[in-house]
């Protein structure tokens, strides 16, 4: 009986996560179209999202990462509930493995997204696209500080143009994604085996 209830709770959490994701996508397009459905979705998701918006460490001038933290929290909770519902057992190791896995999943998603931004910007350079548009300016505002910080750390005083800084940035992100996936995958496997 309890397993059936937990499966139902897991399904509700999954549906709620989809609503939150839809709500986040709407914010990417500036002024979202007004309507009953949009208002209803906002009234369901915004109280939960507002709990995380107050955390200043997850807000950047250009990007608000607090919704990702909100989704990570729901994902961890949902994974634990699903594990209990189907396996009827939970250990501290499994909980830690779920937390580490969810955190890496979010971090790798953000890294991959920023990698895509960098590749798009590099393609713009290669095709000599007019970069005076709002899209390109926004990409540069996001990428330039990261790319130049990375160049300062790696190039150690050598002058590197923005295009080469983006190449270095893309290579480093790919390396972090590959090494991180291996390390986190190994750690998650070890944690899940803890008997505690």
**Based on the structure, what is the number of domains in the chain?**
2
Domain containing residue 142 = 91-196
Res 30: pLDDT: 55
In angstroms, the CA 158 to CA 121 distance is 22
Which tokens sit at 64?
A: 């608000």
Q: Which of 71, 90, 109 is the last residue of a domain?
A: 90
Q: Which of 74, 90, 106 is the last residue of a domain?
A: 90
Res 141: pLDDT: 83
Q: Which of 44, 73, 90 is the last residue of a domain?
A: 90
Q: Is 47 exposed, middle or buried (0-12, 13-18, 19+ CB in 10 A)?
A: exposed
Res 57: pLDDT: 52
Same domain, 18 and 75: yes
Same domain, 61 and 98: no
Res 31: pLDDT: 54
- Polymer length of the chain: 196
Same domain, 43 and 106: no
Res 181: pLDDT: 94
CA distances to 83, 112, 115, 150 from 171, rounded to whole Å, are 37, 12, 9, 11
Res 25: pLDDT: 75
Same domain, 52 and 139: no
Count CB neighbours of 97 within 10 A: 21
Same domain, 105 and 191: yes
DSSP string for 129-190? --TTSHHHHHHHHHHHHHHHHHHHHHTTT----HHHHHHHHHHHHHHHHHHHHHHHHHHHHH
CA distances to 27, 66, 110 from 42, rounded to whole Å, are 11, 16, 24
Question: Block means of pLDDT (10 residues each) for the chain, length 196 residues?
Answer: 82 91 73 69 89 66 73 84 74 82 81 88 87 80 84 78 88 94 93 79
């Amino acid at each position: 009986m309890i397993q059936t209830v937990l499966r139902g709770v897991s399904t509700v959490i999954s549906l709620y996560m989809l609503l939150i994701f839809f709500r986040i996508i709407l914010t990417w397009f500036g002024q979202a179209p007004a309507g009953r459905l949009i208002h209803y979705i906002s009234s369901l998701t915004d109280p939960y999202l507002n709990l995380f918006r107050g955390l200043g460490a997850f807000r950047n001038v250009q990007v608000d990462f607090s919704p990702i933290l909100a989704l990570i929290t729901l994902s961890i909770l949902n994974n634990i509930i699903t594990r209990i519902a189907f396996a009827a057992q939970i250990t501290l190791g499994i909980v830690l493995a779920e937390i580490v896995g969810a955190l890496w999943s979010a971090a790798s998603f953000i890294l991959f997204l920023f990698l895509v931004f960098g590749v798009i910007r590099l393609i713009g350079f290669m095709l000599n696209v007019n970069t005076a548009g709002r899209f390109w300016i926004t990409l540069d505002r996001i990428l330039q500080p990261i790319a130049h910080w990375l160049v300062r750390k790696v190039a150690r005083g050598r002058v590197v143009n923005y295009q080469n800084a983006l190449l270095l940035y893309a290579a480093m992100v790919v390396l972090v994604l590959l090494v991180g996936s291996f390390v986190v995958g190994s750690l998650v496997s070890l944690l899940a085996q803890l008997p505690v």
